[in-house]
Amino acid sequence: MSSKLALSEEILLSVEKPARYIGGEINMAVKDPEKVDIRFVMCFPDVYEVGMSHLGIQILYDMFNRRPDTYCERVYSPWTDLDAIMREKHIPLFSLETQSPIKDFDFLGITLQYEMCYTNVLQVLDLAGIPLHAEDRTEDDPIVVGGGPCTYNPEPIAEFFDFFYIGEGETAYDDILDLYKENKKRGGTRKDFLRQVSHIQGMYVPSLYEVTYKEDGTIASFAPVAEDVPAKILKQVVTDLDTCVYPDKQLLPFLKVVQDRVVLELQRGCTRGCRFCQAGMIYRPTRERSVEHLCAIARNLLNTSGQDEMNLSSLSSSDFSGLPELVYTMIDECRERHVNLSLPSLRIDSFAVDVMQKVQDVNRSSITFAPEAGTQRMRNVINKGLTEEDILSGAAKAFAAGWNKVKLYFMLGLPTETETDVAGIAELGNAIAREFYALPKEQRHGRANVTISTSYFIAKPFTPFQWMPMISKDVFLTRQRLLKATVQEQRNAKSLVYHWHDAETSELEGIFARGDRKLSRVIEEAYRRGCIYDAWTENFKYDIWKEIMDKYGVSVEFYNLRERPYDEILPWDHIDIGVRRDFLYREYERAKQELVTPNCMTKCSGCGAAVFGCGICVKPRKKADGGEA
């Protein structure tokens, strides 16, 4: 490997954490770029420590590099300090592995994990010297492809991408890369390639679709420009997680990153069907890995990384049927290796309390619940199958086992929310603290510490709430104040702490989440005026965004605050996640009627995900506890 770095010593010594830019990590792929046909650079448009924490990139990086004809490298957003230097000194953005200019690659793959990274996408393109608009790119520019959850409605950034890969990355990239090679050999153009890509399931080439608008700003029509381009883009799905690729080794960063541990993905999807949750819909159907496969992967990952923590990752770990077997096998092995096991998203029951006692320091750690809403009525609306009794009995078990810290997560501004629901949040917190003080004195350790956190409900595409209005920033702030006051009125107020989320980023996130192509000029202008790292509160420039939105007539009322009628064409209607629009609408109506829909383990609701013929849709699981919790 060449030891030549893209940045001079002077620059490296003048920026914060130069190790962000030097590459060379353990398990990094080393190849000769001259000897491959395809150079792919994978980008997470945020700072290194965030980007390196993402499992998806690790999977694709490993998968691409298994191909002898392809060399996959990485790039992350330069932090603001280096960003300024690169602009001043005209240093082109470079990859970590070979430190070569991004513009020299065949593909630039950008993962879109949250809406607030959109200006960072433009930063990456701009610093790389790639035209921001796909239509301005030439044969010399890389093909810019987007992936990740935001591609389920990529319209606000559609103009900046050559194509989007909708769905799970493990399945179709081989075909795409083969196609690219063939097209190149034939002397085909960029346009030729994109046209052929559009024929592969899951590939959305925005330039091949035309959109017209009505006078009120809603969509009048959205259609492909030619007959061979599919009108609907069906997402890609891995049908068997045990036979699909999973990295034997994960890149091990030198810096302490946000997720500083190896990650074991237990399953994909979630059976719960919470009506606000996009992940619960777009990753259907739920598919599990076998315990045997997981144990083998875990040993490999620990051997090849030397990491001292392993995270069992899933949207709802308690629903993973092999959890007790896996956990009891791994606990001993991890202890021998001095590896900490972390299990987020566990439902607190006797099993969880037993496991947590074995893997956590009871005195220092806390237990977490995500009731999301304060009253049973509200939880029925959002279809959160968690009752007050579940929460209180879970908390009581944990308190009896020695814990005294509880974290609670809620949303404010859920559809149909009233002041009673808001006050219910404080009352639930109080009831939990009461469980603690109900214990005999000699069993209690100190005092209860119940932390209540609220975030701002954001309506997301492909959820039953996609038609629902959000509340305005002002109403949100009023409810925050109301909750704060109600918390203070509680009998156990001294044991309760209330944390809240800032409203301005959430408002913009809402606009982007359900946005359309008209937003691209807003994003572009915000970027031109210095907005990057909007996900970082200290960098978020609300006033600039507001000014630009006003200039282009982009209103919060239109994107966030109105109820959308059923017959309105939504900007993401051309994307097909398997789960049908009419199912989502049925759920929307059941939400209004406060009716609970059973989860997939109890009863199939016919959402449409069975079209993929895999996972829970073909092999329903029997749960001893009946599923509902």
Partner 1 sequence: MKVRIGFAKFDRMRFLGHLDVMRFFQHAIARAGLPVAYSAGFHPHMILSFAQPLALSVSSDGEYFDVELTEDLEAQEIKERLQGTMCDGFAITDAYVLPQQEPNTKKQTGMSLIAGALYLLEETESYQGQLLAAATALAAAQKAVVAKPTKNGTRDVDVRSGIHALGIVSEDGAIRWLCDDDVFAVPENLTEGFGAERSRHAAHRPGALRMLFAVDAGSENNISAELLSDALSVSGGIPEGRMFSSHRMELYGLKDGHMESLLTMK
Q: Which residues bind partner 1 (CB under 8 A)?
A: 1, 3, 5, 9-10, 12-13, 17-19, 22-26, 28, 252, 254-256, 302-308, 337-338, 340, 361, 364
Angle formed at CA 47 by CA 43 and CA 52, multiple of 5 degrees: 65
Instruction: Pick the closer one to partner 1 by CB: 18 or 598.
Output: 18
As measured in angstroms, the least distance from the Cβ of 119 to partner 1 is 28
- Burial (CB count within 10 angstroms: exposed 0-12, middle 13-18, buried 19+), residue 59: buried
Distance between CA atoms of residues 98 and 6, nearest Å: 9
SS3 call for 412: strand
Q: Residue 295 CB, nearest distance to partner 1 (Å)?
A: 18
- Residue 95 Cβ vs partner 1, minimum distance, rounded to whole Å: 14
CB of 38 to partner 1, least distance (A): 24
Rounded least distance, CB 446 to partner 1, Å: 17
Q: Tell me how far apart the alpha carbons of residues 431 and 428 are, in angstroms, rounded to a whole number.
A: 5
Instruction: Compute the 3-state secondary structure of the chain and give helix, strand, coil in percent, each to the nearest 5.
Output: 40, 15, 45
Q: CA-CA distance, 408 to 372, in Å (whole number)? A: 8
187 vs 446, beta carbon nearer partner 1:
446
Q: Of 10 and 538, which CB lies nearer to partner 1 in the complex structure? A: 10
* Residue nearer to partner 1 on the CB measure, 296 or 618: 296
Q: Which is nearer to partner 1, 22 or 611 (CB)?
A: 22
Q: Name which of 335 and 619 has its Cβ closer to partner 1.
A: 335
In whole angstroms, how close is the CB of 296 to partner 1 at the nearest point?
A: 18
135 Cβ contact list (under 8 Å, min separation 6): 159, 207
Distance CA 155, CA 512 (A): 9
CB of 403 to partner 1, least distance (A): 14
Report d(CA 572, CA 357) in Å as an integer: 45
Shortest Å, Cβ 491 to partner 1: 34
Residue number with CB closer to partner 1 (305 or 368) = 305
Residue 340: φ, ψ to 5°: -85, 140
Beta bridge partners of 287: 268
Q: Is 418 left (phi over 0), alpha (psi -120 to 50) or beta?
A: beta
> For residues 302 and 579, which CB has a smaller minimum distance to partner 1 in the complex?
302
- Closest to partner 1 by CB, 19 or 556: 19
Name the residue nearer to partner 1 (CB basis): 359 or 561.
Answer: 359
DSSP annotation of 205: -
Q: How far is the CB of 307 from partner 1 (least distance, A)?
A: 7
**What is the distance, to the nearest Å, from the Cα of residue 262 to the centroid of all Cα atoms in its chain?**
18
Q: Cα separation of 387 and 587, whole Å?
A: 20
Cβ count near 223 (within 10 Å): 12
Per-position b or e across 338-368, b if 16+ CB within 10 A of its CB = ebbbebebbbbeebbbebbeebbebeeeebe
Shortest distance, position 86 Cβ to partner 1, whole Å: 17
